Structure 1
């Protein structure tokens, strides 16, 4: 079970495409949250923000309260060096935001010197004006020579949720370009892996991301953000449908509640052949039609290709 905690809205960067909504007031860590987490078995706790390293006192409280849990954090890397000893002591998976390519929307480069840390991942945001995957991957290779370790590429899409970040929404042209690149790169990865036993590290993250979606097997009412293996919380201990726009709280009947949301707003999801991979997509996005188009095309293609290779006699 994974519990993802939204620590708060404070951030030391100001990425223009970010879709988090500010908290009117931040209440700090609650005893209710800790009690809920203590009830979970085989728990992984993931810390998100804002920038979660601005809430390290609260993070340390959670870690101390859950000695058997595993931990992960998603950070922009500004404070990384200061807290690496703590992360190493408690075996954190550290995921750093880095967009690569010629993109400079974040205004900070986390990869300017050697990073001595074994469990490192990278999250990359694709948005309008930033969809050239080959350019991004090339910039990753250059960074590897600086930090002294390999970087895998785990892309995700920016979600346009308000007027301020609307210009970063993917267009139909962006969608087709992304689909073409994904099919070429992941298709190449699967052929090399299953036919020749060669693992292409550059595309492994893209393949792994799709494989996890294929294996998710969402039931109707489970979404990508809240499902049988993942719950999202604010620091009060309230379960929410979305970390970034926390306007809907969920109860123990969360699955039925999310079914009603889908029935009322996105009835086409109920009979979609790739819902088991998609989980309804981003329920808060203003550009949901484009994201839905990408998911239908990409997931349908991946399902067919993966099952073809998986069923072949030389597949592992």
Structure 2
């Protein structure tokens, strides 16, 4: 399965202060070259991102029409979800909705009513001021009562890419706190299964985030964002190391890996967790801080998952 993430454009109907995207100078349009390339792939999975990708539904529909047998996904703030729900349902989109547990910075709550949709995921951003797992999970639990379905806490950390979003950067103390909370939650998740045979869904997303890295096996030159399983391109079909910043286009074939190696930190080459990490966010201004966090998180996970290998693999088979 070839996975392609398509960046549709930077327009958004929210203005989240911690957002790390760079605005476009002109609106991109899906090119015929990109559609031709997608048609050449036998087993294809396409994910649409922005900005807010539901503001580019004409472009989304062009892709779906061109490759109707592909698997589709979209990451959205949820504002226009109801408008396009039937379309997403008809084409079996996996819809990932952003919800941080604390929506004061986003200014929009996507979980205000029952959501009747079978393929729903939730993305949660951790930023300075939003790192308390218990508080976030409590907010998710309260929302489950509203939407009538489980909402697994699947976090990702915000990346500092400009002076504008730097005030929300995770501090070293934040990272230390996240590290201890993540480890404690996964230990409880695995031990609940080993001792009681119970799958504690409130911690499932935290487990999945680590388990998927077990299977990543990044080779030198690959990153978390661009690797042998996944490529990321803009609407014209140009592949980039980062679709949010888009200042480094990689080219094709061997050239792409040569160019991406130049972007990776020299510290990554001999790192014992590079095969799980993929170099963290190569565009982050605070890359060293992210490196500190991932070296410890993945270093701990390698040891823990080996010690609990049977339970980890059984739990991994359920997701």
TM range (shorter): over 0.9
Tell me, which stretches of 5 or more residues in structure 2 are unaligned? none
Say which SS state the counterpart of residue 199 (structure 2) adopts.
Answer: coil
Structure 1 position 25, deviation (Å): 0.8
Matched, 1:94 2:95: yes
CA RMSD of aligned residues (A): 1.5
**TM-score, normalised on structure 2?**
0.95
- Structure 1 residue aligned with 2:200: 200
Give yes or no for contact 2:73–2:93 (8 Å, CA) kept in 1.
Answer: yes
- Structure 1 residue aligned with 2:42: 41
Give yes or no for contact 2:305–2:312 (8 Å, CA) kept in 1.
Answer: no
- Structure 2 residue aligned with 1:50: 51
Matched, 1:211 2:208: no
Q: 1:312 to 1:110 in 2, by over 3 A?
A: closer
Q: 1:83 to 1:202 in 2, by over 3 A?
A: same
- Structure 1 residue aligned with 2:33: 32
- Structure 1 residue aligned with 2:266: 267
Give yes or no for contact 1:152–1:204 (8 Å, CA) kept in 2.
Answer: yes
Q: 1:313 to 1:278 in 2, by over 3 A?
A: closer
Query: Partners in 2 of 1:164 and 1:244 — Cα distance?
Result: 14
- Structure 2 residue aligned with 1:77: 78
Say which SS state the counterpart of residue 231 (structure 2) adopts.
Answer: strand
- Structure 1 residue aligned with 2:7: 6
Query: Partners in 1 of 2:258 and 2:215 — Cα distance?
Result: 22
Give yes or no for contact 1:13–1:107 (8 Å, CA) kept in 2.
Answer: yes
Matched, 1:143 2:140: no
Matched, 1:121 2:147: no
1:255 to 254, 257, 263: 257
Query: Partners in 1 of 2:234 and 2:71 — Cα distance?
Result: 19
- Structure 2 residue aligned with 1:231: 231
1:98-124 superposed Cα distances (whole Å, 9 cap, x missing partner)? 000x44110000000111101100000
Query: Partners in 1 of 2:194 and 2:3 — Cα distance?
Result: 30
Query: Partners in 2 of 1:85 and 1:217 — Cα distance?
Result: 37
Q: 1:97 to 1:126 in 2, by over 3 A?
A: same
Say which SS state the counterpart of residue 271 (structure 1) adopts.
Answer: coil
Structure 1 position 255, deviation (Å): 1.6
Structure 1 position 311, deviation (Å): 5.2
Query: Partners in 2 of 1:104 and 1:83 — Cα distance?
Result: 25
Structure 1 position 42, deviation (Å): 1.6
Query: Partners in 2 of 1:271 and 1:25 — Cα distance?
Result: 40
- Structure 2 residue aligned with 1:302: 301
Say which SS state the counterpart of residue 209 (structure 1) adopts.
Answer: helix
Query: Partners in 2 of 1:272 and 1:103 — Cα distance?
Result: 36
1:109-163 superposed Cα distances (whole Å, 9 cap, x missing partner)? 0000111101100000001111001110111011011111111111000001111
Give yes or no for contact 1:17–1:165 (8 Å, CA) kept in 2.
Answer: yes
After superposing on structure 2, the runs of 4+ consecutive aligned residues of structure 1 that deviate more than 3 Å are 311-316
Say which SS state the counterpart of residue 215 (structure 2) adopts.
Answer: helix
Say which SS state the counterpart of residue 216 (structure 1) adopts.
Answer: coil
Matched, 1:187 2:202: no
Query: Partners in 1 of 2:183 and 2:26 — Cα distance?
Result: 44
Say which SS state the counterpart of residue 249 (structure 1) adopts.
Answer: coil
Give yes or no for contact 1:309–1:315 (8 Å, CA) kept in 2.
Answer: no
Query: Partners in 2 of 1:311 and 1:121 — Cα distance?
Result: 27
1:233-275 superposed Cα distances (whole Å, 9 cap, x missing partner)? 100000010010001111222122212222xxx1110000000
